[in-house]
Structure 1
């Protein structure tokens, strides 16, 4: 495994991160992702406005954060739903804040970040249901949110990529595009890339096994809405961009999902980011590839939303 000097520097830094007073492995995983994101994401871009809202459900609320890009009229704006990663057990507003700000400004779209419930406190399908219900609420309230209900896309990274892929099979007719960033597409963890990168960088197999066990109840272990590589019917899945990282244990699972979508007739573009590791989108402090990926996603969004920059 040949790593670039910047990636080596990042991995050396990650080895030194000690989560503050973790109560257990779950708490440690959550704090580790927060620390990594805060320390490596780089300077946060200013946006016009950030609003936090709660979508009322029968027994709970779904927190959402609305990012309005700088220099854009708030009326009738295109919108992008963002579903975050974190192995289904971690992540939230702060871990993805820097990335989402970049995407808002570069795409010129309102980004709606859904802070879905996490496992193990809330196993599958809680996160999927929150994602689906959050999007339904956005569509129903498009006018008051100042967005165009006919110009909505979805982006998901890692575990959020798995959720986005499932969402798109259910609500694809409402979505103009989908972007999956190194998606967590399979729970078997038995691919060649998992064998190669069993001990990292960034992810390791033991942590993956633990996360899937927390997320997925036994009776759901063959549910394609939880495990995207099992999806047979992609229904109205919109044009899709898949971004993969070379030194990532999830690489082969992402490739397999891309291949399945292509074979199902979905319009798909797959791009492998050479030399990159899982989670590289959080490493903008040192990696110029983060901006390259943001630029690529923005171009894909513009192409499929068909609006002028």
Structure 2
């Protein structure tokens, strides 16, 4: 018996497929009526009746196909951007002490983009986590973004391979990302980066992981300059109005399906989950001392409402936080599609500006926590 979508009864769902919901500049946006990534490959990868080896093979083939297409897209970027930097890959041993209960910890494997012309001074670093419903952990799927960000920020961009939910359920992804971040800090001299100027960022499933990683790193004493997330998943308790919106793209049904695979049956919708699993579970006390947080979310995004609730918790904890709510958009509108799309360009300028703020200024509020005797 294969995967079946949940039954939808009467007025329990809020349908948003009508293009009249969309911002005028996105009317012809190709993903408004649905994406094969979510409707086809997502159904394959989260089908509990499909053998796991078959799902792993499908995940690898899909990732390699996307990487090949994006490599072609990279070739169409301006020569000045393409020639500004160089690609490198690094590998390292796993860190068994990160989670002694995880006997399948992945060795370190990171893709790095660094500026070609360097003065010798350590550069800032952007630590980018790949997205894809928590199912994918291949940085090659986002190479053009890595390249352009290195160019815009004059920074070293580090993006790790990690176990997606097809290869391992929570906390496998967080363990691998924790290890990759630790490797990045410990190898700052090799990478010629400033370990005190690292920003972590990701979108969609990568947004979930980058926010979760912020809480994990805080627990282990790491202090990134900031966290910039796009359309993150923050909550699995399907009680918010936005989670009942159906857009034909990534909506509440897709999100629930992805989260059920990301967690074990016992962990999904569990009252025992904490913010390292889903930040929607964070208390004010959990958030005290967290690095600055910037979040972008869409109007017809299933996680819109829980994201806004999480931001209120951050403000109560005195964390530097910004939220950008983009009207007339669905999941993926902001970071998928043509680079010359005007709406996307406006979003990208602000998103990159958030990263630049974190790299230029120290927005961490040590003074506040010290004055309140919270640390």
TM-score in same-fold range (> 0.5): yes
**Which of 261, 270, 273 is the matching residue for 1:223?**
273
Distance 2:330 2:193 in 1: 34
The alignment partner of 2:167 has SS state of coil
The alignment partner of 1:11 has SS state of coil
Give 2:238's aligned residue: 189
**1:195-206 aligned within 5 A:** 195-196=244-245, 198=246, 200-206=247-253
Tell me if structure 1 keeps the 8 A contact 2:33–2:248: no
Give 2:300's aligned residue: 247
**1:1-309 aligned within 5 A:** 1-4=20-23, 6-11=25-30, 15=34, 17=36, 25-26=44-45, 31=62, 38=69, 43-44=76-77, 45-46=81-82, 47-57=84-94, 58=96, 59=104, 60-69=106-115, 71-73=117-119, 75-90=121-136, 92-172=138-218, 173-196=222-245, 198=246, 200-220=247-267, 221=270, 222-224=272-274, 225-232=276-283, 233-279=286-332, 280-285=334-339, 287-306=341-360
What is the Cα deviation at residue 154 of structure 1? 0.8
What is the Cα deviation at residue 226 of structure 1? 1.0
Give 2:11's aligned residue: none
Compared with structure 1, are the counterparts of its residues 244 and 29 closer, same or farther at alpha carbon in structure 2 (3 Å cutoff)? farther
Does 283-292 or 37-46 show the bigger shift?
A: 37-46
What is the Cα deviation at residue 289 of structure 1? 3.1
Distance 1:270 1:102 in 2: 23
The alignment partner of 2:150 has SS state of helix
Question: Could you list the runs of 5+ residues in structure 2 that have no partner in the other structure?
Answer: 1-19, 46-54, 97-103, 362-375
Root-mean-square deviation (CA), in Å? Answer: 3.2
Compared with structure 1, are the counterparts of its residues 164 and 7 closer, same or farther at alpha carbon in structure 2 (3 Å cutoff)? same
Tell me if structure 1 keeps the 8 A contact 2:188–2:194: yes
| Higher Rg | 2
The alignment partner of 1:257 has SS state of helix
Does 59-68 or 22-31 show the bigger shift?
A: 22-31
What is the Cα deviation at residue 33 of structure 1? 11
Q: How many residues align?
A: 304
Q: Which runs of 4+ in 1 moved over 6 A?
A: 21-24, 39-42
Tell me if structure 1 keeps the 8 A contact 2:288–2:318: no
What is the Cα deviation at residue 201 of structure 1? 4.0
Does 91-100 or 243-252 show the bigger shift?
A: 91-100
